[in-house]
Structure 1
Amino acid sequence: MCGLTGFWHLRGASREILRSQAEQMSRQLTHRGPDDSGVWCDEAAGIVLAQRRLSILDLSEAGHQPMHSACGRYVIAFNGEIYNHLELRQRLAAEGAAPTWRGHSDTETMLACFVAWGIERTLQLSVGMFAFAAWDRQQRTLVLGRDRMGEKPLYYGWCKDTLLFGSELKALKVHPAFNAQIDRDALTLFLRHDCVPAPYTIYQGVLKLRPGHLLQISLDAPRDAQPTPYWHYNDVVSQGLSEPLACSDSEAADALEQRLRASISSQMLSDVPLGAFLSGGIDSSTIVALMQASSHRPVKTFTIGFDENGYDEAVHASAVAGHLGTEHTELYVSPEDALAVIPRLPSIFCEPFGDSSQIPTFLVSELTRREVTVALSGDGGDELFGGYNRYLTARTTWKRMLHMPRFARKAVAGTLRTIPPVAWDRMMEHAGPLLPKKWRLAAPGDKAHKLAEALMASNGQAFFLNVASRWKEPANMVIGSREPSTLLTDAEAWPEASNLAQWMMAMDAQSYLPDDILVKVDRAAMANSLETRVPMLDHRVVELAWRLPLHQKIRHGQGKWLLRQVLYRHVPKELVERPKMGFAVPLDRWLRGPLRDWAESLLSESRLRQEGYFEPHSIRQKWEEHLSGRRNWQYALWTVLMFQAWLEASQQSA
């Protein structure tokens, strides 16, 4: 795990200037790689590669980057891990293509594979998470690449006559050519999704490389280069749905456990201490259970707890850890500990990011880094195995809606809206003990009003967009903006899945997962110089998951059914069966309490008008309703607050 950056200056410059600018960019990524750093440049070509290293495999000088291939053709700055690199070395040896190895790093393996098989073929044979920049000295071509699922980030953009690239935007921003012009269209996407989805960024002219893509830039026509996929998630979906596994539940559970064990075993390879996040939920418990099953010593596990009622999962994690016999560390954090993270968020994420679980994710990463350098995570289980409640809603609510004429849906929606959310909450509070567990919802009033909006959707895709949106009409909120097309609105990019729940899962895996979940985990962990690995996102696990029929994922109104069957082989059912919580903080109460003055300052009408990005009326209305307790607008407000805090920090550092 590392950080990389660099640039290609088409007009060229002196070696001293090139190196000085690259070193300044690299220093912005010290948190991603505190152990070592390096800069390589070709003065004649104007190309510079820089890397910060967090040493995980081959801690010796032989792992230093940027690294040259043995023949000298390729130079690479690499971030990530190739989990099957030892098998790739064996394959090279069998073909007589192995060089004389200088060390045992996966970066050296990757370079040797480039020489033997070419870059695209190498990536198709590789299992891992990565982003890289490679310079082909023979073809005078720069190649940028990103892993299949988007675990590792890579930004790039032309600024005047210079191509800038790097693991985080903060590295690009310090280059003299960078133009920090905010993209108002991208800001609308941020309001809708809580993040800026790829390929966009908050800055004009700067892009994210999509997962599973390569960008090859030649000297002949450098500005004409367009990213191309070497692996496409929709192909996996299509193939899986057309060639489903015909096997019993027990056989399917065997196949899934075998594939997960193989992925976890490969990701436990490390020359430094390794552990795992453990929330006590299905995903992290499954990962830890299989880690412990293959380990001869107790696995180190980590969780944080809150004393706030309804937000503490530490007790569940402790029960799972006790059963499995892990070496468990938990830390109860105070509201003051959590609130102290907030001023750091703009620098940690370097573009606006509105998922409030960023706070506990940072805190558990900080705790984990005290003991280990690598941590395995359970992310990906929801998208692959049907874990989110919206997939269950798609199978029930939307199906019922399809049989209702539009006038009837409109009438039901109107009825739902006539009852204020606080009244819904009171009714459900009194009726709760009489209702089945699956009907006992958190914030029922807000969910009732959200359902009222969803009832008016014209089709399943519009239903999903409504459910997945934080602000419904963000272009009306951002002055001088127009909402761009994304994966969720571009029908040509949609997967071929006729079942709405499967379609939603495929869309989440290509948008919400890489643009929100994986960004959150990467930035929060790397801010603490902690490497995270996600075994469920091994592409072979992904491919198997899509060959499993939907009834083995969602059954009897419960998601992740098959994943649960694997977990029950290792952990008693009663230790992990409970309503899905998510990694949350009591944001609604904080905004009415200790964060009120901070939020009021950022959301003041005069400030909003002076800055000129937002129409103040709707924001002020939601803020006042939230303070009064009439509605809970915590997440919508948090999205705006994160932009405002980021904008303030950007202006102060300019």
Structure 2
Amino acid sequence: MCAIAGIYDLHHHTDIDAGLLRAMTDIQFHRGPDQGGVHLEPGIALGHRRLSIIDLSGGQQPLFNEDHSVAVVYNGEIYNYRELMRELQHYGHTFRTQCDTEVIVHAWEQWGERCVDHFRGMFAFGLWDRRQQSLFLARDRLGVKPLHYTVLDDGQLLFASELKALLTHDGLRRELDPLAVEEYFAYGYIPEPRTIFRQARKLEPGHTLLLRKGQPLAQPRRYWDIPFATQAPRSEAQASDELLQRLREAVRIRLVAEVPLGAFLSGGVDSSAVVAMMAQESTKPVNTCSISFGDPQFDETAYAQLVSDRYATRHHTQTVEQHDIDLVDQLAGLYDEPYADSSALPTYRVCQLARQRVTVALSGDGGDENLAGYRRYRWHLHEERWRTMLPLGLRKPLFGTLGRLYPKADWAPRPLRAKTTFEALARDTVSAYFHSVSIMSDAMRKALFSERLKRDLDGYHAADVLHRHARNCPSGHALSRVQYLDLKTYLPGDILTKVDRASMAHGLEVRVPLLDHTLVEWMSGLPPELKLRGTTGKYLFKRGLEPHLPKELLYRNKMGFSVPLADWFRGPLRSHLERSLASPVLADCGLFNLDQVQQLVAQHLSGRSDHSAPLWSLLMFESFLRQLPAAAPRNCARKAA
């Protein structure tokens, strides 16, 4: 696992600033503490930081083809590189290393832009072809590895693994994107392709970008999508067996490493399944790591211990304490832009714990999105049945009125929170799903935002992100559609971003078997009723895992990897919350109605409402603003206009 960086002059062949390239790689040192390398020639500069995993003595980057006309900097793992190496050798290509990186330059020579179709793994890379005077950027299909880029006013394109590397250039304007602010306070993260800055972008998962000297700036091209193609009929038993066989193979190919290897073990179904497959494929005990909480409502370590005992893993647990709020500023620095998933706290700690013993860890991320594990899917299908019974023209006024009149009851169980249900029934399918995943309602965001920010938004609504993806969804089934939306937004924007930054902060590589793209393609084609059966999510997966995991783990209520923020804010973190949200930083930026900020704080502290998610998002935004580089403008409202 590594960090990449590059500078490409789209119009000229002038020398690139070597000091700037060094700064871009040095600021990402944590991603690749083992080695560094750079390549400069007129008009192009490539930089790399390496965390050595395979071919420790070789594979230094930038890496070249035989005549040095093609160079690549790359972050990731291509698990089928040995097969590709043999295939490319058959075509006459000569290899000088046993590293997967070299496969990329020869695959480019052989297949050009379609080289990415042949790669099985997680990757982000920049490839320079001197003959064609072209720069080729690519990101893996599901967005496991990140790639940011910007085009400056002078025609230079910068790219890097992390946004902070782009900010080393004074030419990147620090203008906040008001649309990104709206999206952040709706989702808790900023979905691809937007970043918090107007001038910077993320390359979306499953996309490439080909740039040629002297030609107009091209648009990213999508090379892959989740197919949701219906499979041939088979029995449940056959489908269950095949699912486990495919997962086992996805785990097996991710066990190749020349460094110590382990796994995260949360006590949930997905990480437990990965550990079970690892243990059955390994000749040595698996190293496993868990995070615990003092609050039993959030603690899953007892279930993790069940799996550890069953497979005799070398298990290690660490407790996340309330004083971990000290990590807030550190996390804001890691993520480079506002990011409001509070589970980043335990994720950071479990990565820190794992790195003490291993260099590579396998995780269970992706199971909920692919196999319908989230409770919100069940509620969405329930509401969808009502939406199909009544046309929107009738539902909107009827349930809209009920939603406005019914009192808000955050404290009540979901079936009694009728206000939320009424509001969802008054919307179309995609808008209703947006309503269910938002960390702040439309009304709350409207009250929170300043008049200036609302003018800058000019009617833009964060739900447009989901509507854009919904138009491309290949399935008409209600469950498949919301799975598709999560795979396009929540998975890369929240889950994978969280794990990438937290793991790379400690020089730890995380591999994700459940996001093997061939497995994802196959799972997408399973009948929806094999994913969600009644109230049981991951139905087929759990059935197949019965011989491998305890039933009390498989069929318990889903807990999720979260922290007890609501109680923390009312307890020992109260003073930190009040101090931070009264900070002059929030006042100076001009983005917020400060009376509404203080009202949210007061309502939460009184116990009348649970505003922990909105308050955490404000806390992280304040920390982000406070840590903006010195070149950033102080009046961000003016710059957002």
TM-score bucket of the superposed structures, by smaller chain:
over 0.9
Query: Which of 462, 465, 470 is matched with 2:431 structurally?
Result: 462
Deviation for aligned residue 1:183: 1.1
For each residue in 1:142-161, what CA deviation from the matched residue of structure 2 results, as whole angstroms up to 9, or x when unmatched?
11100000000000111122
Confirm whether residue 291 of structure 1 aligns to residue 278 of structure 2.
yes
Distance in 1, matches of 2:281 and 2:294, equals 34
Aligned-residue identity in percent: 38
Confirm whether residue 531 of structure 1 aligns to residue 509 of structure 2.
yes
Deviation for aligned residue 1:179: 1.6
For each residue in 1:428-471, what CA deviation from the matched residue of structure 2 results, as whole angstroms up to 9, or x when unmatched?
xxxxxxxxxxxxx4x777x54433432322x2112101111122
For each residue in 1:267-287, what CA deviation from the matched residue of structure 2 results, as whole angstroms up to 9, or x when unmatched?
111111111101111111111
For each residue in 1:492-530, what CA deviation from the matched residue of structure 2 results, as whole angstroms up to 9, or x when unmatched?
733132221211011100111011110001011111111
- Aligned pairs (5 A) from 1:169-248: 169-222=163-216, 224-233=217-226, 236-237=227-228, 240=229, 243-248=230-235
Query: Which of 46, 49, 62 is matched with 1:49 structurally?
Result: 46
For each residue in 1:285-320, what CA deviation from the matched residue of structure 2 results, as whole angstroms up to 9, or x when unmatched?
111111111111111111011112311111110111
Deviation for aligned residue 1:73: 2.2
Query: Which of 522, 526, 546 is matched with 1:544 structurally?
Result: 522
Confirm whether residue 568 of structure 1 aligns to residue 558 of structure 2.
no
Match of 1:8 in 2: 8
Distance in 1, matches of 2:469 and 2:85, equals 42
Q: 1:635 corresponds to which letter in structure 2? A: A
Distance in 1, matches of 2:421 and 2:173, equals 42
Q: 1:104 corresponds to which letter in structure 2? A: Q
- Aligned pairs (5 A) from 1:93-132: 93=89, 95-99=90-94, 101-118=95-112, 120-132=113-125
Distance in 2, matches of 1:475 and 1:73, equals 54
Distance in 2, matches of 1:178 and 1:614, equals 25
Deviation for aligned residue 1:13: 8.2
Q: 1:76 corresponds to which letter in structure 2? A: V
Match of 2:69 in 1: 73
Q: 1:36 corresponds to which letter in structure 2? A: Q
Deviation for aligned residue 1:111: 1.5
Aligned residues: 618
Distance in 2, matches of 1:117 and 1:344, equals 42
Match of 1:377 in 2: 363
Q: Is the 8 A contact 1:97 1:116 kept in 2?
A: no
For each residue in 1:524-546, what CA deviation from the matched residue of structure 2 results, as whole angstroms up to 9, or x when unmatched?
11111111111111111011101
Q: Is the 8 A contact 2:141 2:205 kept in 1?
A: yes
- Aligned pairs (5 A) from 1:309-348: 309-336=296-323, 338-348=324-334
Q: Is the 8 A contact 1:487 1:493 kept in 2?
A: no
Q: Is the 8 A contact 2:170 2:631 kept in 1?
A: no
Distance in 2, matches of 1:475 and 1:410, equals 18
Q: Is the 8 A contact 2:430 2:470 kept in 1?
A: no
Deviation for aligned residue 1:622: 1.7
Match of 2:639 in 1: none
Secondary structure in structure 2 of the residue aligned to 1:275:
strand
For each residue in 1:229-279, what CA deviation from the matched residue of structure 2 results, as whole angstroms up to 9, or x when unmatched?
11123xx12xx1xx3231001100111111111111111111111111011
Q: Is the 8 A contact 1:156 1:165 kept in 2?
A: yes
Deviation for aligned residue 1:420: 4.5
Secondary structure in structure 2 of the residue aligned to 1:310:
helix
| TM-score, scaled to structure 1 | 0.90
Q: Is the 8 A contact 1:245 1:548 kept in 2?
A: no
Secondary structure in structure 1 of the residue aligned to 2:72:
strand
Match of 1:158 in 2: 151
Deviation for aligned residue 1:18: 2.0
Q: 1:123 corresponds to which letter in structure 2? A: V
Secondary structure in structure 2 of the residue aligned to 1:38:
strand
Match of 2:637 in 1: none
Deviation for aligned residue 1:613: 1.2
Q: 1:84 corresponds to which letter in structure 2? A: N
Confirm whether residue 269 of structure 1 aligns to residue 245 of structure 2.
no
For each residue in 1:14-40, what CA deviation from the matched residue of structure 2 results, as whole angstroms up to 9, or x when unmatched?
75x622110011111000000000110
Distance in 2, matches of 1:283 and 1:626, equals 33
Q: 1:267 to 1:166 in 2, by over 3 A?
A: same
Q: 2:144 corresponds to which letter in structure 1? A: E
Q: Is the 8 A contact 1:276 1:375 kept in 2?
A: yes
Q: 1:39 corresponds to which letter in structure 2? A: V
Q: 1:594 corresponds to which letter in structure 2? A: P
Match of 2:378 in 1: 392
Secondary structure in structure 2 of the residue aligned to 1:211:
coil
Distance in 2, matches of 1:379 and 1:135, equals 33
Secondary structure in structure 2 of the residue aligned to 1:98:
coil
Q: Is the 8 A contact 1:92 1:98 kept in 2?
A: yes
Query: Which of 596, 605, 622 is matched with 1:644 structurally?
Result: 622
Unpaired segments ≥5 residues, structure 1: 425-440
Distance in 2, matches of 1:421 and 1:260, equals 38
Query: Which of 350, 366, 371 is matched with 1:364 structurally?
Result: 350
Q: Is the 8 A contact 2:70 2:130 kept in 1?
A: yes
Q: Is the 8 A contact 1:324 1:571 kept in 2?
A: no
Distance in 2, matches of 1:367 and 1:637, equals 28
Deviation for aligned residue 1:577: 2.5
For each residue in 1:454-490, what CA deviation from the matched residue of structure 2 results, as whole angstroms up to 9, or x when unmatched?
2322x21121011111223346625243136744022
Deviation for aligned residue 1:569: 2.1
Query: Which of 127, 130, 133 is matched with 1:137 structurally?
Result: 130
Deviation for aligned residue 1:375: 0.6
Q: 1:220 corresponds to which letter in structure 2? A: G
Match of 1:522 in 2: 500
Q: Is the 8 A contact 1:316 1:576 kept in 2?
A: no
Distance in 2, matches of 1:178 and 1:251, equals 54
- Aligned pairs (5 A) from 1:467-616: 467-473=436-442, 474=445, 477=449, 479=453, 480-482=455-457, 483=460, 486-490=464-468, 493-604=471-582, 608-616=586-594
Secondary structure in structure 2 of the residue aligned to 1:529:
coil
Q: 1:27 to 1:340 in 2, by over 3 A?
A: same
Q: Is the 8 A contact 2:64 2:71 kept in 1?
A: yes
Secondary structure in structure 2 of the residue aligned to 1:89:
helix
Distance in 1, matches of 2:200 and 2:24, equals 16
| TM-score, scaled to structure 2 | 0.92
Q: 1:650 to 1:605 in 2, by over 3 A?
A: closer
Q: Is the 8 A contact 1:150 1:514 kept in 2?
A: yes
Q: Is the 8 A contact 1:625 1:631 kept in 2?
A: yes
Secondary structure in structure 2 of the residue aligned to 1:330:
strand
Q: 1:6 corresponds to which letter in structure 2? A: G
For each residue in 1:533-583, what CA deviation from the matched residue of structure 2 results, as whole angstroms up to 9, or x when unmatched?
111111110111012101111113111011112221211212332111111
Distance in 1, matches of 2:408 and 2:307, equals 41
Q: Is the 8 A contact 2:404 2:419 kept in 1?
A: no
Secondary structure in structure 1 of the residue aligned to 2:136:
strand
Secondary structure in structure 2 of the residue aligned to 1:578:
coil
Deviation for aligned residue 1:411: 6.2
Secondary structure in structure 1 of the residue aligned to 2:48:
strand
Q: 1:484 to 1:51 in 2, by over 3 A?
A: farther
Secondary structure in structure 2 of the residue aligned to 1:272:
coil
Q: 2:322 corresponds to which letter in structure 1? A: P
Match of 1:432 in 2: none
Confirm whether residue 418 of structure 1 aligns to residue 407 of structure 2.
yes
Q: 1:626 to 1:652 in 2, by over 3 A?
A: farther
Deviation for aligned residue 1:605: 8.2
